[in-house]
Amino acid sequence: MSGCGKVKAWQVPLRLVTGAFILHSGMEKWDGPDEQAQGVHGMARQTFPFLENIDAPRFLKLLAAGEIALGAALLTPMVPTRLAGAALTGFAGSLMAVYAQTPGLRKEGSVWPTPDGIGVSKDSWLLAIGLALTLSPHQKHHKHVKHIKHAQHVKHVKHAKGHGGCHKHHCHHEQGGHPGHHGHLKQAKLVAREAKEAKRLAKDVSPDGHSHHHAHRHGPGHARKGCPAHH
């Protein structure tokens, strides 16, 4: 049942057990004797007076057909769970109404059953199962929410990778792949230092074209004897 994608794993035992039980009950009622028809019809018409206009054998036949249809719907995976659950809730609710209105099934002033009402009181479990199936999350909505969460996760991962690439690109700029902000500052300082050095050297050059540093290193005689600039 879970392979078709319409029934979740936790819904399988609920639909399987209740569906099989109700289907079997309906098949047994289909050819039930007149005594059974009279007993079931008598309990039902006390709660639903309009059933007096239907004779007992026909009512039993209609009840059997309804139970067979409901059991088959619960056992068929293609039937949406919420639809099957709503049908089960309506069926079980009518059984509980019979339990509440039929004298002798409940202890006086109590919701608890008498020995004769135990069998009918257990239909409250069917009501609980029907409500659980009816209130289960819609399959398409669940898939849509899951798809949105997956898309948000993928977007977050891509965004994180993009920031990582920008960080690497920024580091590459600063480490030599591209000057970057810090690289421009370093180049500006280097140019300023070279300009300052050139200015200092210009001041050290004497009017005859030799620097004071050159004369100090080789002596005054060197400038007159060996230096090509004095010839």
Q: Chain-centre distance of CA 202, in angstroms? A: 77
CA–CA separation, 84 and 133 (whole Å): 8
- Rounded Cα–Cα distance for residues 117 and 96 (Å): 11
In 3-state terms, what secondary structure has residue 108? coil
Of residues 23, 42, 44, the one with CA closest to residue 34: 42
Q: What are the tens digits of pLDDT across the range 8-46?
A: 899 999 999 999 999 999 999 999 999 999 999 999 998
Centroid of chain to Cα 138: 13
pTM for this prediction: 0.58
Q: What is the pLDDT of residues 173-190, one digit of tens each?
A: 445 444 455 566 777 777
- Asked if residues 229 and 208 have their Cβ atoms less than 8 Å apart, the reply is yes
Q: Is the Cβ–Cβ distance between 121 and 83 less than 8 Å?
A: no
